[in-house]
Amino acid sequence: MPDTLSHVRQLILNADDFGLTPGVNRAIVELVASGCLTSATLMAAAPATEDAIQLARCTPGLGVGCHIVLVDGVSCLDPALQHRCPWITPGPDGQGMLPATPGQLLRALFTSGMGRSQREELLEAEAYAQILRLQRAGVALTHVDTHKHLHQFPAILRPVLRAARRAGIHRIRNPFEPAWSRRLTPSVPIARQIPFRILQLFRRSFLGTVARHGFVTTSGAIAVLATGALDRALVSQFLSAIPDGCWEMVTHPGYNDAALEQIRTRLRSSRATEIHALQVVSTASSLHRVSFAAIPEG
């Protein structure tokens, strides 16, 4: 975290899954207009990506990152490269389908018989193809993150960083949630808490790898553990508790329309709840609301 921001309370309010459905897209631009969001990460090959691209290009004040999708989505790789990836399977209309879950991806990567360099070369190619698709559509990207926070894992972080650097991007989400934020999140099932605690072991390695690659990031992500349970009261608690630094609040707002009903997701009714929850932000006058573009590059 750059020293220049260490004594200021800055908050990036980011909505993931831009491009997932028209209802998600509409919620995001409405929240930007009302001063409740400053950033969104856009999926390169989701059902409503083209709509999101057009909205991103005409929504002043919205910082847009690439939400790199390596699971539960469609590959952007050239078909010749897709055939080299055991984790990509044929789908309808000749599309290459990515694994449904992080566990399936990780198992496929490490049981593929490939060496580390070959695996990472293909992951980098996928990430770069997604970034490039958005840039060629005229979207000025501020940063990258990954669907399901997969760049927590070193084997995925390294190729994602290389892909972003090739595209001229040097900012990335810090997906690790601080203890003060996790403590505010109530009634989280133990089955969800345990993976969170285990994944914290990667935090130091993550920060070191990010710095060695010449990237910058935030002090941490908040409301990650609260995904699916974020309401107005919890947002208010987070806003009151934020210490000095530059933090990212990770959110998933959206209208529950017919398109969302066709998507496999545990975040269905909670997306509409988050629209109302985020309206609390507009009254938080003591916070500097920024996008990733505010983080000085090294």
Give residue-wise pLDDT tens across range 176-225.
Answer: 999 999 999 877 777 778 888 889 999 999 999 999 999 999 999 999 99
Indicate the number of domains in the chain.
Answer: 1
Start-to-end C-alpha separation, the chain: 10
Q: How far apart are CA 82 and CA 210, in angstroms?
A: 28
CATH number of domain containing 265: 3.20.20.370
Q: Is 218 helix (H, G, I), strand (E, B) or coil?
A: coil
Alpha carbon distances (Å) from 33 to 14, 29, 47, 290, 295: 14, 6, 23, 14, 22
Q: Band the pLDDT of 287: cuts 50, 70, 90.
A: confident
How high is the pLDDT of residue 285? 65
The pLDDT of residue 167 is above 60: yes
Q: Report the pLDDT value the prediction gives residue 267, as an integer from 0 to 100.
A: 54
Per-residue pLDDT, 36: 95
Question: What DSSP line would sit under 40-97, residue for residue?
Answer: EEE-SSSTTHHHHHHHHHT-TT-EEEEEE-SSSSB--S-HHHHTT-TT-EE-GGGPEE
Q: Which of 172, 90, 83, 103 is nearest to 131 (CA)?
A: 172
Contact status, residue 44 vs residue 133, Cβ threshold 8 Å = yes
Distance between CA atoms of 222 and 281, rounded to whole angstroms?
14
Structural domain containing residue 150: 3-294
- What is the pLDDT at residue 6? 52
d(CA 160, CA 68): 8
Q: What is the pLDDT of residues 52-73, one digit of tens each?
A: 999 999 998 899 999 999 999 9
What mean pLDDT comes out for the span 116-124? 97
- Has this prediction a pTM greater than 0.85? yes
Beta strands in 136-244 (DSSP E): 141-146, 220-222
At CA 236, angle to CA 233 and CA 240, rounded to 5? 140
Determine what percent of the chain is predicted with pLDDT higher than 70.
94
Estimate the crossing angle of helix 22-33 against helix 269-278, to 10 degrees.
10
Q: What is the pLDDT of residues 130-156, one digit of tens each?
A: 999 999 999 999 999 999 999 999 999
265-277: pLDDT as tens digits: 655 567 888 999 9
